[in-house]
Amino acid sequence: MRPFAVVSALCGLVLSSSSIVSAQSTAAPLPADFKPPQVFKNVNLVRNTNLEKGYARETINVVVENVDKDPQSEYYLSFPSEVFDRVGGLEVRNKKEAEKGRLDVEAVEIDSLSDVRYLIAHLPEPLAPSSQITLGISYSLLNSLHPRPAAIEQSDRQFLTYSFSAYVPSAYQTVTQKTKVKFPSTNVPNYTATNLKTGEDPERQGSTYTYGPYDTTKVAPGTTHPITVRYEFTKPLITASLLERDLEVSHWGGNLATEERYWLRNNGSTLLNHFSRVDWTVANYQQSPSSAIRELKYPLKPGSVDPYFIDDIGNVSTSRYRPSKGNREANLDFKPRYPIFGGWNYSFRLGWNNELASFLRRAVHGADSYVLKVPFLEGPKMAEGLQYEKVVVRVILPEGARNVQYETVEGPSSNGLPSADQFVAEFSSHKTFMDTLGRTTLTLTVESLTDEARDSHLVVTYDYTLFDALRKPVTITLGLFSVFAAIWVVGNIDVSIKKR
């Protein structure tokens, strides 16, 4: 893996900031009983848990005060180790200066036996003693919703459970904290009630349940109080165990070809009995909600042409494509061959072409330098959301592209992507269509993403000269010429055994 490089002068594109990866320290992992230095105090902490989608999205706003004598800049975030690998799109911002972008977050290597895993958020400037800063921490928890009962009848409604701790896991002492849980509907048949505070806990207000506020001055950091909620969720839990996304740039064709390969799974309740076509026909007729995936709505950018949607055995003829009119988005109604019930799988691939001009431009300062800005993740737009366990994005640049650098675009609000050190980047060469050298390929692998990252963008800069562009025509010409020459030579050899 090459070190991540920052391109500072990208005058053609407006970038508010760019994420930087610091060289990872290769020190030995910390012991399992490691405790972060108690230099901070959480004065007030509010956690918003959103369960409206097929994954849990948590946003924590916390007022942090430095209780140490020296200025401090390393704020430790803690996660129970069983959820740590499923944390997706983690982002920490200074709420007061949100437009300045995210803070750098770095994972702490710790002994694998530890119950708690830590991340270090680097504050932009060290926090002076007894001064305060407000941090906004947001992330998604993948695969954290479990259907109960695990198997239901085909026409039954699906219920999910979500378990969390009433005390927000934190490395520091917290003075007051509360948790707001937002459900998709008011139908919450079971939830844990606590006596951690006087009065009713949780307080219910429509589909929002509030646990707390608790006075937790005397509660040691890391204390848990398990809470489980069970609520109705009639939509599927769409999970892509793998998404491979190829973006192929062709300068000659002026084309940006996109292909996406999905391995989908529905994590919802499985069928108690087997699938019944009669019941399914009736359910479709009545438009009743179902925990099966009927259709994936996939908006494509205006100007997307030549779409195809296939799986291992050919065209998915149940799907439809509605081309864009004018500047409107085109729509791909991708309907799998069969409804995907809980526990069922479906894999397929989609592809389409775009005009390259709307994604690529020359860098201002270098004549042979190009800047490519493409969506990092597109994917279906579903009300119930989508979670991606692993996303592999391949950007296939033209043959001979050099000096390739990349970064993700940061805006004033979260783009759903994790920090840069969570990306595994790899450069390779991809040979296709009579290449001689092979095309420079940038492969980015990210784990645990959600469809929050739909609108994120990736910027790739590279150098590409006229000579590189002419390489292929010249090679083909020479190749054909040598074939003709060889034929001419062979044709002139006389191998007959007749007497002359």
Partner 1 sequence: MAESPVDVLLKGSSGQSTRGLLKVIILVTIAAAAVSSRLFSVIRFESIIHEFDPWFNFRATKYLVQNGFYDFWDWFDDRTWHPLGRVTGGTLYPGLMVTSGVIYHILRFLTIPVDIRNICVLLAPGFSGLTALAMYLLTNEMSSSPSAGLLAAAFMGITPGYISRSVAGSYDNEAIAIFLLVFTFFLWIKAVKIGSIMWGALTALFYGYMVSAWGGYVFITNLIPLHIFVLLCMGRYSSRLYISYTTWYALGTLASMQIPFVGFLPIRNSDHMSALGVFGLLQLVAFADFVRGFIPGKQFQRLLTASIILTAGLAFVGLVVLTMSGVIAPWSGRFYSLWDTGYAKIHIPIIASVSEHQPTAWPSFFFDLNFLIWLFPAGVYMCFRDLKDEHVFVIIYSVLASYFAGVMVRLMLTLTPIVCVAAALVLSYILDTYLKISSGPVTRGRSNEDASEGLRSARTPEVGITSYFSKAATTSSIIVYLLLFVAHCTWVTSNAYSSPSVVLASRMPDGSQFIIDDYREAYYWLRQNTPANAKIMSWWDYGYQIGGMADRPTLVDNNTWNNTHIATVGKAMSSREEVSYPILRQHDVDYVLVVFGGLLGYSGDDINKFLWMVRIAEGIWPDEVKERDFFTARGEYRVDDQATPTMRNSLMYKMSYHNYNKLFPTGQATDRVRGTKLPAESPQLSTLEEAFTSENWIIRIYKVKDLDNFGRDHSNAVAFDKGNKRKKATKKKGARLLRSE
Binding site for partner 1 (CB under 8 A): 272-278, 281, 311-315, 317-318, 337-338, 343-347, 431-435
Which of 395, 405, 410, 374 has the alpha carbon at shortest distance from 19?
Answer: 410
Distance of closest approach, residue 337 Cβ to partner 1, in angstroms: 4
**CB-CB contact of 374 with 256 (8 Å):** yes
CB of 469 to partner 1, least distance (A): 18
User: 210 or 347, CB closer to partner 1?
Assistant: 347
**Least distance to partner 1 from the beta carbon of 404, Å?**
21
Residue 236 CB neighbour total at 10 angstroms: 27
Q: Between 220 and 497, whose beta carbon lies closer to partner 1? A: 497
Distance spanning both ends of the chain, measured CA to CA: 68
Closest CA to 425 of 439, 412, 402, 406: 406
Q: Which is nearer to partner 1, 383 or 483 (CB)?
A: 483
- Which DSSP symbol is given to 340? B
The residue (of 205 and 317) whose beta carbon lies closer to partner 1 is 317
Map tokens 């430095």 to a residue: 66
Q: What are the start-end ranges of the E strands in 251-357?
A: 255-266, 270-271, 296-300, 305-311, 314-315, 320-322, 330-334, 345-355
Beta-bridged to residue 459, according to DSSP, are 373, 407
Give the CB-side neighbour count of residue 372, counting CA atoms within 13 A. Answer: 27
Judged by phi (left if over 0) then psi (alpha if -120 to 50, else beta), residue 398 lies in beta
Return the DSSP state at 468: H
H helices then E strands: how many in the chain?
3, 31
Q: How far is the CB of 439 from partner 1 (least distance, A)?
A: 11
Which CB, 67 or 310, lies closer to partner 1? 310
Report the residue number, 101 or 336, with the smaller CB distance to partner 1.
Answer: 336
Q: Are 87 and 169 in contact (CB under 8 A)?
A: no
The smaller minimum CB distance to partner 1, of residues 71 and 438, is found at 438
Least CB distance to partner 1 at residue 429 (A): 12
Rounded least distance, CB 478 to partner 1, Å: 14
**Residue 485 parent element (H or E):** helix 466-492
Identity of the residue, 181 or 264, whose beta carbon is nearer to partner 1 in the bound complex: 264
**Closer to partner 1 by Cβ: residue 104 or 468:** 468
484 membership: H or E segment, kind and range: helix 466-492
Relative to beta strand 173-182, strand 40-50 is parallel
Cα separation, 280 vs 290, in Å, equals 9
Q: Which is nearer to partner 1, 434 or 478 (CB)?
A: 434
DSSP labels, 208-269:
EEEEEEEE-TTSPTT---EEEEEEE--S--EEEEEEEEEEEEETTTTEEEEEEEEEEEE-SP
Least Cα distance to 460 among 394, 381, 386, 365 occurs for 394
Instruction: Give least dist CB 417 to partner 1, A.
Output: 30
**What minimum distance in Å lies between the beta carbon of 102 and partner 1?**
38
* Cα R_g (the chain), whole angstroms: 27
Closest CB to partner 1 among residues 285, 488: 285
**19 HSE (CA, 13 A, CB side):** 29
State the nearest-atom distance from the C-beta of 12 to partner 1, in Å. Answer: 32
Cross-strand partners of 371: 361, 461
CB of 279 to partner 1, least distance (A): 9
Least Cβ distance, residue 402 to partner 1 (angstroms): 20
367 vs 483 by CB, closer to partner 1:
483
Q: Is the Cβ of residue 433 or residue 488 nearer to partner 1 in the bound state?
A: 433
79, β-bridge pairs: 117
Shortest CB 125 distance to partner 1, Å: 52
Q: Is 132 exposed, middle or buried (0-12, 13-18, 19+ CB in 10 A)?
A: middle
- Residue pair 78/171 in contact (Cβ under 8 Å)? The answer is yes
> At its nearest, how many Å lie between partner 1 and the CB of residue 300?
20
